[in-house]
Amino acid sequence: MSAFIDARTVPAGTVLEPDLAIFGGGAVGIALALALAHSPISIMLFESGGMDFDAATQALYAGSQAGVKYLPLDACRMRYLGGSTNHWGGWSRPLDPIDFEKRDWVAHSGWPFGIETLRPYLPRAQSLCELGDWIYDEATPRMAALAPLLRLGEGGVYTSWFQFSKTRDDVLPTHFGTRYADDLKRIPNLRLYLHANATALKLNGNASGLESVAIATLSGRKFTVKPRTAVLAMGAIENARLMLASNVGNQNDLVGRYFADHPIPRDTATLVSFAGDIAGYYFNAGLLSATQIRATLAPTDAFKRSRKVLGSLTTIETPVEMDDLARAAVVTAAEAIGADASNAKAFSVGCGLELEPDPERRFVLTHERDALGLPRLKLINRVSDSDFLRYRETMKELGRQLLAAGTGMIRLNYDTRAEWESALDWGDHHLGTTRMHVDPKQGVVDADSKVHGLSNLFVAGSGVFPTYSASNPTLNLIALTLRLAGHLRKLPR
């Protein structure tokens, strides 16, 4: 077992020449290194942070923003080994087949391949995330046997299932840095550098490939990496930042555009169950075969097609009081359809939304620089009215199905854009800044995650997702990374 290397001890001016350099030691970088363990490729992994949080390193993330309020750029991700798995919630679900399709109602949609291309890599990704057995929507009959599902009339919303990364002690999902540190140290063909920041990408003379990457530490040490092949795995925001700052891969002005996250407006609706209590697995993760699993409400693919809506997940949260109108609405509706609402209870509803890709929701460089001299980013954030309205349509369908089943009803709490924005939070899921497309004019990377026009530079992570789904990205971006590992294994040394 070899220790990690502190980049602050590397002699200034050193030139390192691995077969493969991975920049970023989050879930992607770690999964990639583990996948290529024991291969004949010499690998170096460069992580900006150390083993723990450090305020000065984290401050390198700071940036500004305009438009729809977003999270501070230095608070929505983590910059030390394990990356943002150091603060993730562990929610996991594979992308749905429809997520890969070119949908005529979703601008800029369509992946270069379908779910079948990703599917072989999902079991290993599931294992790395420590998600337990592969159950997901097969949980329905098994969980229904434990406690009844929320009965819905026939229609466009169904109970779908998320699984959770393994929790330990105080509910901490798998933190890739601490969880896999020893495994990384045991990889004979890997050298992992901590406190090593990539500050510039330099192309070769005819700009056909990456020649070198400048590395700097906050202590002032500088050295160079000249890899045969490199993978940017620093997260969707930081990958775009380094490419923009280095003017690499941006010949079609696409880097940094199409940014997305999952908006999580709070308390979007009030759901009333006429019978009162609802099965606990709608509120919290429950155990099924030692796997943590939670029910959500999601639109079916058929509903997405027929009503031209996007993906979403709806969660049932906490009990809420009913006001006079709520009681009147419940009495009136229940009596009209012949339901017994004498034990009715109301619950707040949360959600996560898929956004439509938007090239103007983007990051741009500013004149301000961080401690290493890299330009800081500014986010121009936008959410279209239609993104909110499409989700509202799905919620209205849920309300229709509850009434049709005679089991409950729903109040849609937000109508105006101001109301939606006032309740807006975000999932910390950074997507889309280096999107994948076979056409260089529509994507930064090709179907193999290689930067268009460059022979040896790849981008990994959810930044390459052309569309975003409502599923949390970690499981899926790791599967995509494992697919990339397959390509890298075949590269000439």
> How far is CA 323 from each of CA 270, 320, 346, 415, rounded to the nearest angstrom?
11, 10, 10, 19
Do the beta carbons of residue 99 and residue 475 sit within 8 Å?
no
Binding segment toward other proteins, per CB under 8 A, in 39-47, 106-114, 326-334, 424-432: 326-334
Q: Which of 37, 337, 423, 491 binds other proteins (CB under 8 A)?
A: 337
* Rounded least distance, CB 160 to other proteins, Å: 21
Q: Nearer to other proteins by C-beta: 166 or 396?
A: 396
**What x/- string results for residues 215 through 254 when contact with other proteins is judged by CB under 8 A?**
----------------------------------------
Binding segment toward other proteins, per CB under 8 A, in 168-176, 184-192, 294-302, 325-333: 325-333
Q: Which of 404, 423, 447, 491 binds other proteins (CB under 8 A)?
A: 404
By CB under 8 A, tell whether 329 contacts other proteins: yes
By CB under 8 A, tell whether 415 contacts other proteins: yes
**What x/- string results for residues 270 through 289 when contact with other proteins is judged by CB under 8 A?**
x-------------------
Do the beta carbons of residue 383 and residue 243 sit within 8 Å?
no
Extract the tokens encoding 492.
């000439």
Tokens 């989050």 locate to 26
Q: Nearer to other proteins by C-beta: 335 or 368?
A: 335
Q: Which of 8, 103, 400, 417 binds other proteins (CB under 8 A)?
A: 400
* Rounded least distance, CB 349 to other proteins, Å: 12
Mapped onto helix, strand or coil, the DSSP state of residue 317 is strand
State the DSSP H helix or E strand holding residue 205, giving kind and residue range, or none if neither. Answer: none
- Give dist(CA 486, CA 448) in Å, integer: 10
Q: Nearer to other proteins by C-beta: 402 or 480?
A: 402
Q: Nearer to other proteins by C-beta: 13 or 338?
A: 338
Helices and strands, counts by H and E, the chain: 12, 21
- Give dist(CA 229, CA 239) in Å, integer: 16
- Give dist(CA 202, CA 457) in Å, integer: 11
Q: Nearer to other proteins by C-beta: 154 or 169?
A: 154
Nearest partner of 34 among 474, 450, 457, 484, judged by Cα: 484
* Rounded least distance, CB 306 to other proteins, Å: 11
By CB under 8 A, tell whether 332 contacts other proteins: yes
Q: Nearer to other proteins by C-beta: 175 or 411?
A: 411
- Give dist(CA 130, CA 164) in Å, integer: 8
> How far is CA 387 from each of CA 222, 337, 437, 450, rounded to the nearest angstrom?
45, 32, 23, 30
By CB under 8 A, tell whether 294 contacts other proteins: no
By CB under 8 A, tell whether 333 contacts other proteins: yes
Mapped onto helix, strand or coil, the DSSP state of residue 258 is coil
- Give dist(CA 493, CA 365) in Å, integer: 35
Nearest partner of 459 among 224, 169, 220, 255, judged by Cα: 255
Binding segment toward other proteins, per CB under 8 A, in 82-90, 132-140, 406-414, 432-440: 406-414
Q: Is 100 exposed, middle or buried (0-12, 13-18, 19+ CB in 10 A)?
A: buried
- Give dist(CA 370, CA 98) in Å, integer: 41
Mapped onto helix, strand or coil, the DSSP state of residue 15 is strand
Tokens 């290689």 locate to 450
Q: Which of 52, 137, 253, 335 binds other proteins (CB under 8 A)?
A: 335
Binding segment toward other proteins, per CB under 8 A, in 80-88, 127-135, 357-365, 394-402: 394-402
* Sign of the Cα pseudo-torsion (76, 457, 359, 113, in order): negative
Extract the tokens encoding 233.
């795995």
- Give dist(CA 452, CA 431) in Å, integer: 19
* Rounded least distance, CB 300 to other proteins, Å: 15
Do the beta carbons of residue 178 and residue 161 sit within 8 Å?
no
Site for other proteins in 338-357 (CB under 8 A): 338
By CB under 8 A, tell whether 364 contacts other proteins: no
* Rounded least distance, CB 340 to other proteins, Å: 13
Q: Which of 403, 436, 444, 478 binds other proteins (CB under 8 A)?
A: 403
Q: Which of 66, 328, 371, 438 binds other proteins (CB under 8 A)?
A: 328
Q: Which of 396, 417, 421, 447 binds other proteins (CB under 8 A)?
A: 396
Q: Which of 89, 153, 209, 440 binds other proteins (CB under 8 A)?
A: 153
Size of the site for other proteins (CB under 8 A): 27
Q: Which of 115, 326, 447, 491 binds other proteins (CB under 8 A)?
A: 326
The DSSP bridge partners found for residue 347 are 271, 319
* Rounded least distance, CB 106 to other proteins, Å: 22
Rule CB under 8 A: which residues touch other proteins? 153, 269-270, 324-329, 331-333, 335-338, 396, 399-400, 403-404, 409-413, 415
